[in-house]
Amino acid sequence: MDESESKRDPAGTDAGLNQGPRTVPLARRQFFEKLGWVGVALLAIFTVPSTLRFLMPRRAGAGRTEFDAGLVQDYSAATVSTRWIRRHGLWVVRDHSGLFALQADCPHLGCTPRWEPQSSRFRCPCHGSLFSLEGIALRGPAREPLKRVAIRRQGERILIDPADYVSLEDAESRGGYHVMI
């Protein structure tokens, strides 16, 4: 047997001779297996960062959340300002004694109630909870009042911190959640 015959494999191809790279077509099963692994990799790439961000608590003081809500005279008597709903998720209410801010999240399931000026009430569109001007739950299914948001006066300016909110009872006992005018 000569040397060239010994380098042939049983299929009759020249195994020892350099013929360049051979491309073998993927079988259907291998194609879908590789496609599945690509999908898993993409899922991991897009979900791991957001999951880590969700699980990691924010550091105290990381990022300033207080904002300038304008001048005291911008808020007329016995009204609810809805200008901060979209940006900060809160209402600024002026009653007979001053200003306070309410978080615009229904305590039942977190829907955004709507201010109804004709009845001077907040109504949740999801399940019909009704709240007074002060944020007290008048009709369920919500049993808790709307949360108070930290508000303070600096000269003639109003400063509000949407990240600092408490229940109505805590707001009344602690202070810092109502501005006297």
Residue 139 forms beta bridges with which residues?
Answer: 130
Kindly report the pTM of this predicted structure. Answer: 0.60
3-class secondary structure, 82: coil
Residue 103 · residue 84 · CB < 8 Å: no
Query: Which of 95-99, 113-117, 125-129, 167-171 has the weakest average pLDDT?
Result: 167-171
Residue 162 · residue 64 · CB < 8 Å: no
Tens-place pLDDT, residues 131-161: 998 888 998 898 888 888 888 888 888 888 8
pLDDT, residue 134, reads: 87
User: Pairing state of beta strands 98-103 and 148-154?
Assistant: antiparallel
The pair of structure tokens assigned to 157 is 């300016």
Residue 148 · residue 101 · CB < 8 Å: yes
Tens-place pLDDT, residues 42-56: 988 888 888 877 777
The pair of structure tokens assigned to 124 is 């949740």
